[in-house]
Amino acid sequence: MPHLAELNIARLRHLKGDPRVAEFFDNLDRVNNAAERMPGFVWRLKDEGGNATDIAYNSDPRIIANLSVWETPQALEHYVFQTVHTAFYRRRDQWFETLPGPHLVFWWIEPGTLPTLSDAASRLTDLAANGPSERAFGWAGIRKREA
Protein backbone atom coordinates (compact mmCIF):
# COMPACT_ATOMS: atom_id res chain seq x y z
CA MET A 1 0.00 0.00 0.00
CA PRO A 2 1.48 3.40 -0.94
CA HIS A 3 2.41 5.98 1.66
CA LEU A 4 1.16 9.55 1.69
CA ALA A 5 3.68 12.34 1.19
CA GLU A 6 2.74 15.87 2.12
CA LEU A 7 4.23 19.31 1.72
CA ASN A 8 2.87 22.41 3.31
CA ILE A 9 4.44 25.81 3.15
CA ALA A 10 3.78 28.96 5.11
CA ARG A 11 5.02 32.54 4.96
CA LEU A 12 5.97 33.90 8.36
CA ARG A 13 4.59 37.32 9.23
CA HIS A 14 8.01 38.14 10.69
CA LEU A 15 11.51 36.74 10.28
CA LYS A 16 12.72 33.97 12.55
CA GLY A 17 14.16 35.61 15.67
CA ASP A 18 11.43 38.24 15.84
CA PRO A 19 9.60 38.05 19.20
CA ARG A 20 6.24 38.11 17.39
CA VAL A 21 6.90 34.57 16.05
CA ALA A 22 8.87 33.34 19.07
CA GLU A 23 6.00 31.29 20.49
CA PHE A 24 5.77 29.32 17.24
CA PHE A 25 9.51 28.59 17.18
CA ASP A 26 9.65 27.91 20.93
CA ASN A 27 7.13 25.08 20.48
CA LEU A 28 8.41 23.64 17.22
CA ASP A 29 10.41 20.82 18.80
CA ARG A 30 7.43 19.82 20.94
CA VAL A 31 5.08 19.69 17.95
CA ASN A 32 7.61 17.90 15.72
CA ASN A 33 8.41 15.36 18.42
CA ALA A 34 4.70 14.61 18.74
CA ALA A 35 4.58 13.87 15.01
CA GLU A 36 7.51 11.49 15.22
CA ARG A 37 5.83 9.54 18.05
CA MET A 38 2.55 9.12 16.15
CA PRO A 39 1.55 5.68 14.88
CA GLY A 40 1.78 5.85 11.10
CA PHE A 41 4.51 8.49 10.98
CA VAL A 42 7.31 7.52 8.56
CA TRP A 43 9.65 10.48 8.01
CA ARG A 44 9.96 14.26 7.96
CA LEU A 45 12.46 16.65 6.43
CA LYS A 46 14.79 18.09 9.05
CA ASP A 47 18.29 19.46 9.46
CA GLU A 48 20.85 18.74 12.19
CA GLY A 49 18.87 20.99 14.52
CA GLY A 50 15.83 18.73 14.22
CA ASN A 51 13.56 20.92 12.13
CA ALA A 52 13.28 22.25 8.59
CA THR A 53 12.85 25.98 9.19
CA ASP A 54 16.43 26.72 8.12
CA ILE A 55 16.13 24.67 4.92
CA ALA A 56 15.40 27.14 2.11
CA TYR A 57 12.22 26.45 0.17
CA ASN A 58 12.82 29.34 -2.23
CA SER A 59 14.48 32.77 -2.16
CA ASP A 60 11.97 34.18 0.35
CA PRO A 61 13.49 33.78 3.84
CA ARG A 62 10.04 33.95 5.44
CA ILE A 63 8.72 30.87 3.58
CA ILE A 64 9.10 27.71 5.63
CA ALA A 65 8.27 24.20 4.53
CA ASN A 66 7.10 21.02 6.21
CA LEU A 67 7.63 17.84 4.21
CA SER A 68 6.64 14.49 5.66
CA VAL A 69 5.56 10.93 4.86
CA TRP A 70 2.77 8.98 6.57
CA GLU A 71 1.62 5.38 6.27
CA THR A 72 -2.01 6.46 5.87
CA PRO A 73 -4.05 9.62 5.50
CA GLN A 74 -5.81 8.73 8.77
CA ALA A 75 -2.50 8.81 10.67
CA LEU A 76 -1.72 12.28 9.32
CA GLU A 77 -5.25 13.50 9.97
CA HIS A 78 -5.11 12.27 13.56
CA TYR A 79 -1.84 14.13 14.13
CA VAL A 80 -3.03 17.36 12.50
CA PHE A 81 -6.45 17.56 14.12
CA GLN A 82 -6.25 15.59 17.40
CA THR A 83 -2.89 16.27 19.05
CA VAL A 84 -0.83 19.16 20.40
CA HIS A 85 -0.47 20.23 16.75
CA THR A 86 -4.14 21.23 16.67
CA ALA A 87 -3.78 24.13 19.12
CA PHE A 88 -0.97 25.61 17.07
CA TYR A 89 -2.76 24.96 13.78
CA ARG A 90 -5.75 26.96 15.05
CA ARG A 91 -3.46 29.89 15.81
CA ARG A 92 -1.64 29.85 12.46
CA ASP A 93 -2.98 33.28 11.47
CA GLN A 94 -0.97 34.82 14.33
CA TRP A 95 2.30 33.71 12.78
CA PHE A 96 1.63 33.21 9.06
CA GLU A 97 0.27 35.21 6.16
CA THR A 98 -2.41 33.84 3.89
CA LEU A 99 -0.76 32.68 0.67
CA PRO A 100 -2.36 33.03 -2.74
CA GLY A 101 -3.07 29.60 -4.16
CA PRO A 102 -2.55 26.25 -2.50
CA HIS A 103 -0.08 25.91 0.36
CA LEU A 104 -0.57 22.16 0.84
CA VAL A 105 -0.11 19.23 -1.50
CA PHE A 106 -0.30 15.45 -1.17
CA TRP A 107 0.84 12.59 -3.38
CA TRP A 108 1.32 8.85 -3.08
CA ILE A 109 4.79 7.30 -2.87
CA GLU A 110 6.07 3.78 -2.67
CA PRO A 111 7.07 2.64 0.83
CA GLY A 112 10.82 2.99 1.32
CA THR A 113 11.15 6.05 -0.88
CA LEU A 114 11.55 9.59 0.45
CA PRO A 115 10.51 12.76 -1.36
CA THR A 116 12.88 15.61 -2.06
CA LEU A 117 11.96 19.21 -1.36
CA SER A 118 12.47 19.98 -5.04
CA ASP A 119 10.00 17.29 -6.13
CA ALA A 120 7.53 18.40 -3.47
CA ALA A 121 7.77 22.02 -4.63
CA SER A 122 7.13 20.97 -8.23
CA ARG A 123 4.01 19.10 -7.12
CA LEU A 124 2.69 22.17 -5.30
CA THR A 125 3.36 24.23 -8.42
CA ASP A 126 1.58 21.60 -10.52
CA LEU A 127 -1.43 21.65 -8.20
CA ALA A 128 -1.61 25.44 -8.41
CA ALA A 129 -1.29 25.47 -12.20
CA ASN A 130 -3.39 22.45 -13.16
CA GLY A 131 -5.62 21.58 -10.25
CA PRO A 132 -5.89 18.20 -8.54
CA SER A 133 -4.51 15.12 -10.28
CA GLU A 134 -2.90 11.81 -9.34
CA ARG A 135 0.42 13.70 -9.20
CA ALA A 136 -0.73 16.39 -6.78
CA PHE A 137 -3.92 16.79 -4.76
CA GLY A 138 -5.38 18.26 -1.59
CA TRP A 139 -7.54 16.82 1.20
CA ALA A 140 -10.41 16.32 -1.27
CA GLY A 141 -8.22 13.97 -3.33
CA ILE A 142 -7.73 11.78 -0.29
CA ARG A 143 -11.47 11.68 0.36
CA LYS A 144 -12.10 10.79 -3.28
CA ARG A 145 -9.69 7.85 -3.09
CA GLU A 146 -11.23 6.62 0.18
CA ALA A 147 -14.77 6.69 -1.27
> Which pLDDT does position 144 carry in this prediction?
60
> Which pLDDT does position 49 carry in this prediction?
86
Q: With 90 as the cut, is the pLDDT of residue 126 above it? A: yes
Domains contained in the chain, number:
1
pLDDT band at 146 (very low <50, low <70, confident <90, very high): low
Buried b (16+ CB within 10 A) or exposed e, 102-132: bbbbbbbeeeeeebebeebbebbebbeeeeb
> Which pLDDT does position 23 carry in this prediction?
95
The parent domain of residue 136 ranges over 3-146
* CATH assignment of the domain containing 110: 3.30.70.100
Helix (H, G, I), strand (E, B) or coil at 54: coil
> Which pLDDT does position 93 carry in this prediction?
93
Q: With 70 as the cut, is the pLDDT of residue 147 above it? A: no
Mean pLDDT calculated for residue range 50-74: 95
Q: With 70 as the cut, is the pLDDT of residue 145 above it? A: no
Q: With 90 as the cut, is the pLDDT of residue 105 above it? A: yes
Mean pLDDT calculated for residue range 86-111: 94
Distances in whole angstroms, Cα of residue 145 to Cα of each of 5, 81, 82, 87, 123:
15, 20, 22, 28, 18
Question: Which residues neighbour 129 within 8 Å (Cβ) at sequence distance 6 or greater?
Answer: none
Contact 29, 86 (CB under 8 A): no
| pTM for the structure as a whole | 0.92
